[in-house]
Amino acid sequence: MPFSHHSHSGQFCGHAKGQLEDMVQTAIERKMYVFALTEHMPRDIEDFYPEEIENHPNGESLWALTDQFYAEATRLKHKYESKINLPIGFESEWIRSSTIGLIERLQQKYAFDFFVGSVHHVHTIPIDFDRKMYEEARSKSGSTDEQLFKDYFDAQYDMLQALQPPVVGHFDLIRLFSEDPERNLQQWAGVWSKIKRNLQYMAEYGGILELNSSALRKGMTEPYPTIEISKEFLKLKGRFTLSDDSHSLDQIGFNYSRVLAAIQRIGITQLYYYGTCQKRAGAVNSTDGFVATSLASLEESEFWRK
């Protein structure tokens, strides 16, 4: 019964590949139980990525694309409801003060099941698009990775306080283009204190930490977040979920066996997915729509045999 709460399709995301229905069909073939549809939120034109500048004349063009996404996601949710749970959500941004207005507009316009709260920018500059942009953001942080990490986790804290996202996406994404992506962040006392602060706040409001396999396909040895960060959240009795952050068919459920090994190392015995308690015996429903299931149930899934 593996699940994913974070995905993108080439139909609605310029840096992804594949049609949304093909993504859903692949998740079904791979025996996934929940596959959340969470395209990127619309943004103002000053925050477009290069491929969006080429294809969209203005911010309203991205809103029109979101209209199309929501309609198609709703169609697929009903079409395949007997085979898979397809929660409809979005991945938020935290870029500048105007971003929160866009998020409020998005939530007023559509009836989403939940959303993923992410930070992809520091000082309004993308930190995971390419190395050049990462270095540009770092230069605005005094030209050190350590200070950029502090600024990233401060931006994340602002996002957490303002949005209280149900699921927090790729918690330590800032690692990707840093000088040492495998660094144990406990070595930087100032950074680690900000990480602990953010995790504490998440635990207090009930935010779910995403174990995101995309770090593994990008060459890192541990998923987002690192094992030491996940262990810290476990101490706080925080909740965890699984995501593949897929951007193409071949990335659906990819490297989940390695994420499972990390989960076992961390000591997590319970995971959460979006759904209803009637669909699995022994599952426990919570007030925000997320259901607890044991690691043992996950390990018994036919997914691993596929």
What is the band of 231 on the pLDDT scale with cuts at 50, 70, 90?
very high
Contact 303/31 with Cβ under 8 angstroms? yes
pLDDT tens readout for residues 192-201: 999 999 999 9
Contact 115/90 with Cβ under 8 angstroms? yes
SS3 label, residue 3: strand
pLDDT tens readout for residues 136-152: 999 999 999 999 999 99
Separation between Cα atoms, residue 132 and residue 129, nearest integer Å: 8
Half-sphere exposure of 194 (CA within 13 A, CB side): 21
Considering the segment(s) 4-305 as one domain, its CATH architecture is: Alpha-Beta Barrel (3.20)
Contact 203/148 with Cβ under 8 angstroms? no
SS3 label, residue 264: helix
How many CB atoms within 10 Å of residue 86?
Answer: 25
Contact 7/37 with Cβ under 8 angstroms? yes
Both ends of the chain: CA-CA distance in Å?
12
Higher confidence at residue 287 or residue 170? Answer: 170
Amino acid identity at 29: E
CA 53, chain centre distance (Å): 24
pLDDT at 281: 36
Separation between Cα atoms, residue 9 and residue 21, nearest integer Å: 9
Contact 285/14 with Cβ under 8 angstroms? no
Report CA-CA distances (Å) from 88 to 4, 225, 237. 12, 24, 27
Half-sphere exposure of 59 (CA within 13 A, CB side): 10
Higher confidence at residue 281 or residue 250? Answer: 250
Separation between Cα atoms, residue 140 and residue 17, nearest integer Å: 33
Closest CA to 243 of 1, 2, 9, 4: 4
pLDDT tens readout for residues 49-105: 877 888 888 878 899 999 999 999 999 999 999 999 999 999 999 999 889 999 999
pLDDT at 222: 97
pLDDT at 306: 67
Predicted TM-score of the model (pTM): 0.94
Percent of residues, the chain, with pLDDT higher than 70: 95
DSSP state of 31: T
Average pLDDT across the chain, whole number:
93
Strands (E), 133-234: 167-168, 208-212
Mean pLDDT for the stretch of residues 24-43: 96
